[in-house]
């Protein structure tokens, strides 16, 4: 149980006078009832605090798991993005090579047709 106490700084709060007559049994019963009520309230608050603490620990663990999973997914996406860029660059290089080959073949065909045209018949 958690007990909270407030101590006032001034010295006069430490002195209290009581009457010499003893309290009646009804007053004692009232004080005991109030004490029991306060103890129950404190116990309920303590239970609530413990439940909230357990919930906070669970949420913290869930957050850490989520962060770990997101970091893993980010690394995977970066890798896939890099591979896609590399694949695109390789595809562009292959396309450029294919264009050059087509140009070369066309120029060869044009050269051959020119040669054929100028050959004596």
Q: Which long-range contacts (CB under 8 A, 24 or more apart) does 20-23 make?
A: none
Asked whether residue 76 is assigned to any structural domain, the reply reads yes
Q: What is the pLDDT of residue 17?
A: 59
Distance separating alpha carbons of residues 63 and 57, to the nearest angstrom: 10
Number of independent structural domains in the chain: 1
Distance separating alpha carbons of residues 75 and 83, to the nearest angstrom: 12
Asked whether residue 1 is assigned to any structural domain, the reply reads no
pLDDT band at 108 (very low <50, low <70, confident <90, very high): confident
For 73-96, how does the pLDDT look when each residue is reduced to its tens digit (9 = 90+)? Answer: 999 999 999 999 999 989 999 999
Asked whether residue 13 is assigned to any structural domain, the reply reads no
List the structure tokens of 82. 């890099």
For 32-71, how does the pLDDT look when each residue is reduced to its tens digit (9 = 90+)? Answer: 999 999 999 999 999 999 999 999 999 999 999 999 999 9
Query: What is the extent of the structural domain holding 41?
Result: 29-105
Q: Which residue has the tokens 């149980």?
A: 1
Q: What is the pTM of this model?
A: 0.46
Asked whether residue 3 is assigned to any structural domain, the reply reads no
pLDDT band at 7 (very low <50, low <70, confident <90, very high): very low
- Three-state SS at 57: helix
Cβ neighbours around 74 below 10 Å, total? 10
């Amino acid at each position: 149980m958690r007990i909270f106490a407030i101590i006032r700084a001034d010295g006069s709060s430490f002195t209290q006078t009581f009457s010499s007559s003893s309290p009646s049994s009804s007053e004692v019963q009232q004080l005991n009832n109030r004490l029991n009520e306060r103890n129950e309230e404190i116990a309920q608050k303590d239970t609530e605090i413990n439940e909230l603490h357990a919930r906070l620990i669970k949420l913290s663990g869930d957050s850490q798991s989520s962060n770990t999973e997101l970091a893993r997914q980010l690394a995977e996406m970066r890798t896939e993005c890099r591979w896609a860029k590399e694949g695109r660059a390789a595809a562009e290089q292959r396309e450029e090579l294919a264009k050059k080959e087509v140009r070369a073949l066309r120029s060869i065909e044009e050269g051959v047709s020119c040669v054929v045209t100028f050959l004596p018949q």
